[in-house]
A and B are shown apart, each in its own frame.
Chain A
Amino acid sequence: MTLERSYKLRILLVALILLFMMTGAIARLYHLQVIKHKDCLARAINNQIRKKNLLPLRGEILDRKENALVVTKAACSINVDSSLIPEKHRRTLSRKLAQVLDIPQEKICDLLKKNKGHFPLARKESDETMCEISAILANLGISKYAIYPLKECQRIYPHDSLLAPVIGFTNMDKGGDNIGVFGLEKQYNEWINGEYKKTYPHRTALWQDLEPIEQKILEATYGNRIVTTIDISIQYAIERALRNALSKWHADYGVAIVQEVKTGEILAMASLPTFDPNKFYSYGPEFRQNRCLSMPFEPGSVMKNFTSAIALDLGLVRMEEMIDCEHGRAIVDGWRVTDSGGHGMGVVPFTKCFANSSNIAFAKVGMRIEPTIYYSYLNRFGFGQKTEIDLPEESSGIMHPLEKWNRHSRKSLSYGYEIALTPIQTITAVSAMGNGGKLMKPYVVSEIQDYKGSTIQKFTPCVKGQVVSPDTAQKVLQLMAEVIDSGTAKKAKIKNFLLCAKTGTTRKSHVKDRTEYIASFAAIFPLDNPRISCYIAIDNPRGAYYAADVAAPVFREVAEQILAYLALPPTFVEPEPTPACPQTASLPNLAPELENELPTLTIEDGVLPDLKGLTMKEALEALGSAAVDLQFIGSGVVIEQQPAPATPLSETKTCMLVFGKQEPTPARQKE
């Protein structure tokens, strides 16, 4: 049986209809995909891609042990679309918002009334606050788009006012706290601020990103971290001591700097009273400054360090030279000079003049120096110039040019007047004494790291020049050691350590009646291997004004903590520090006491004698015939011996002696 012809035709007709539909589909496909392709693709891409604004993340500031001094936290700004808030709810809404936000109700109500459309209501609020606001909106039946959050970042200073003048603070831009206005925040703003970036990731219709943000773009939004040389523990100790002193003496201002002598790194820098960078706007400009850099003042007797350094370097004075201090009152070259404290001295060695801070002696020494040479030395110390520390708003101090000097200038300069130094200039110059006469550039930032912690740039110590010879520097240290030991800074004496210091009591010359003082104190320690320098100045103390009373105890408190914190080895194991210059007539003779305390041991007793303080030759003599192998390490005098004294000789085969720098005690010298 075969199919009818008409039947077959009908099948073909139906097939033709289907074929028409299929080819129609292909034609349409061609139309869409080839002719309209560009248009469709552009529209589709426009649809599938979202613009995403990326906020910068300001980098952290760390201390030398990488503790965070400043961090950045995510927060949000609270924005209002007032067109979505019905008038009848305005009052209730502003009352409830006032409870959540820290803004008075009337102000909110006013803002809602005045502004049409979108405006920011509050900034740097937490997500929790936003949640509460959402709940309020839901309660009142207002659209949830009426008040909406926008991300921004907030700078948090976890230590509040600690180190605030150094760190500084930030202002807000559109993305939150990111404009450094002061301190390190300003100085290194370009390094830490990060960048505003945009990305265009593919999205789903539900606004989820399909691709992670490109690593390169993301990294550009992260600011770098800066690692400072500040040690937060030392900073804390010094600020506490300084704050206590300020309140004890009802003083106006106080500054303190702790510096690493060999490198110029700033370990701590305090300027009180200060401000809280978290709420910097509630402090006046007098609080928001770093007086370590911006407050030059006449250094007073601290200047004598530099005068002696210059005079010693030029060979114009010798350590043991006898100088007539004329019992505290004198007229030097037609210029009335008085020594403070009423301790009029007669003819005493230069060391004693320094220790007791005789203005008369220094006026005389100052007169020996040629003005041009004096001036060039002062220039080499960096006075009258910025130290170029990496902090903003540094003052260059005041030093008169040579042509402005009068015939009394040298005398005034020699004990610290007619010149104004910033604390940072002073400490940098003092540190040079502990660094063999080399002046270092002070710095606060040691390293810039990217957000992951890998180094981008390292800052190394920078020598600005050799100011005086190493020998001179050593002599000045000895002079300064004398100040602690027997001079004006006896109150700063610390058991078992040899420290060097100089007090300074400046009588402020611009104040009427000249009744205001600045008590200052410069120190370097330990003497045998100077590591740390410290400068403290307290402005206008009331009740007492001598640096010895006001500043020295602060130093002592801080120095004890620093010594313990850095675990510096004590200079002595003996309980008493001993004078550096035994020739000084006024020194109490400690020798008998020492001999009582430490009976001398000799090899005749069959035990190992105490060899501390002996030179290599003396040590060999003391051991004499004993059959002991000796090992020597270092040079100078014995500072350590192994095994300990009084070990029976029969048990001793080898004896190790460590030599180092130490003033031989008078007791030992007698042996």
Chain B
Amino acid sequence: MIKRNTTLLLFIITLSLVALGTAMVYSSSATTAAQQKRKLISKKAPELLKEAVIFHHPAFLRKQIACVFLAIAALIFFYNFDYVKLGKYSAFFLVISALLLVLVLKFGVKINGAKRWLNVGLFNLQPSEFAKLSLVIFMARFLSEHKDKVKSFMKGFLPVLSILSVILVLVVLEPDFGSTVIIGAIVFFIWFIAGLRLIHLSSLFMASIPCAIVAILMNPYRIKRILAFLDPWADPMQGGYQMIQAQLAVGSGGWFGRGLGSGFQKYQFLSEAHTDFIYAIVGEELGFVGAALLILMFIILMWLGVRIALNAADYYTSLLSSGIVIMICLSAAVNFWVVMGMLPPKGLALPFISYGGSSLLVNMSAIGILLNISKNIEETLYCSPRVRYA
């Protein structure tokens, strides 16, 4: 049975992850920040460049710390916000997310050839992250409310599928293939838990394969990525470069790593070292001990979440908490696999660790909701039993 200290333990795990993440963001981003700074100087005043060669700059760290405070505020807000009410507004959230996804297609900031971000001053907002959480809340609400219709094709399957397709199409248009796959996967898992018919699930899975193939064939770079994944050494300087560098980074860590901040792969050998591939730097600098401990923390987080989901009082709460656990842990697991060359590379952040405000904000809000649920379960189990539903 659930223990009294679940809430506290979950909170501590989350904060530790965030703390470690902030440190790793500085370690891995300082070089990129310095590189950008140098570029800026070389444009404005090239003569200054020779005198002060800078290799570390805290520009990304500053932003990340601001985001951490914002995310903690969000966590506290959702910890106190009634999650039942949240479910009632879920359709509204979903519509807003969809609108943001439309907006990003029009006004998005283009980074590395993809419009995935909206510039909102402090950081670049990534609507697909918000869509992820909105979709999780919406699914929990919709599937628990129509629990008896889940197995029906017309009334249960089709409405969810149509809403899901809209979101996925919008995300894939950005283009953000990685997010599309991960959002699809999260929804599948929630749906599966809610009791979707296996025939529907498997036919959907079969149907998604040709879609994926079409999506892959539409963009030649995706083919290259998959080819590079299959044999990174075929083209070590182009397609296979990032994978090889990531694996070298992890592999050079050994048992105890090269020490926090003492890695060398982050000096532009590994691109995106502070975002999607931050785990490679964790492996290089903290070694097997540190990197495995990080995975263990995610396992503990998952176990705590699963216990909350199993002990939840109703289907909505249970689906919501399992959705959140899937959202966080699936992203993390896929990220680990991608970094270590077990899955083809895709743009996917490691929750709590990677640099990026949207991801941190969404994941911390999700943890806030989970903490809220956990707190309620503990109160109903150990304290004054309250009747929540009239």
Contact = CB atoms under 8 A, between A and B. Distances in A.
Interface of A: 1, 3, 6-8, 10-12, 14-15, 17-19, 21-22, 24-26, 28-30, 32-34, 36-37, 39-41, 43-45, 47-48, 202-206, 208, 210
Given A15-B306, A32-B250, A39-B251, 4 more contacts: A15-B302, A40-B248, A41-B251, A41-B252
Given A11-B322, A18-B326, A33-B288, A204 B251 contact: no
Interface in B177-227: 189, 192-193, 195
B342 A36 contact: no
Interface of B: 31, 35, 53, 55, 189, 192-193, 195, 247-255, 264-265, 267-269, 283, 287-288, 291-292, 295-296, 298-299, 302-303, 306, 309-310, 312-315, 318, 322, 325-326, 329-330, 332-334, 336-337, 340, 342
Contacts of A202: 264, 267
Given A11-B306, A11-B322, A205-B267, A33 B192 contact: no
Contacts of A39: 251
A12 B291 contact: no
Contacts of A24: 337, 342
14 contacts: A11-B310, A14-B192, A18-B302, A18-B326, A21-B333, A21-B337, A28-B336, A32-B247, A32-B250, A32-B251, A41-B251, A44-B248, A203-B267, A210-B264
B88 to A, nearest CB: 19
Contacts of A36: 251
A29 B252 contact: no
A10 B251 contact: no
A47 B263 CA distance: 13
A31 to B, nearest CB: 8
B233 to A, nearest CB: 11
Contacts of A17: 189
Pairs A-B, 4 closest by C-beta atoms: A40-B251, A21-B333, A25-B336, A205-B268
A36 B244 CA distance: 13
Contacts, number: 145
Contacts of B269: 47-48, 204-205
A273 to B, nearest CB: 46
A29 B333 contact: no
B253 A210 contact: no
A210 B306 contact: no
A7 B248 CA distance: 42
Nearest to A49: B264
A17 B325 CA distance: 12
Contacts of A34: 254-255, 288
A32 B340 contact: yes
A500 to B, nearest CB: 60
B302 A22 contact: yes
Contacts of A12: 306, 310
Residue from B35, B53, B299, B332 with most neighbouring chain A CB atoms (10 Å): B299
A36 B253 CA distance: 10
A40 B310 contact: no
A443 B37 CA distance: 57
A34 B303 CA distance: 27
Contacts of A22: 295, 298-299, 302, 329, 332-333, 336
B310 A3 contact: yes
Nearest to A17: B189
A203 B31 CA distance: 12
Contacts of B314: 1
A29 B292 contact: yes
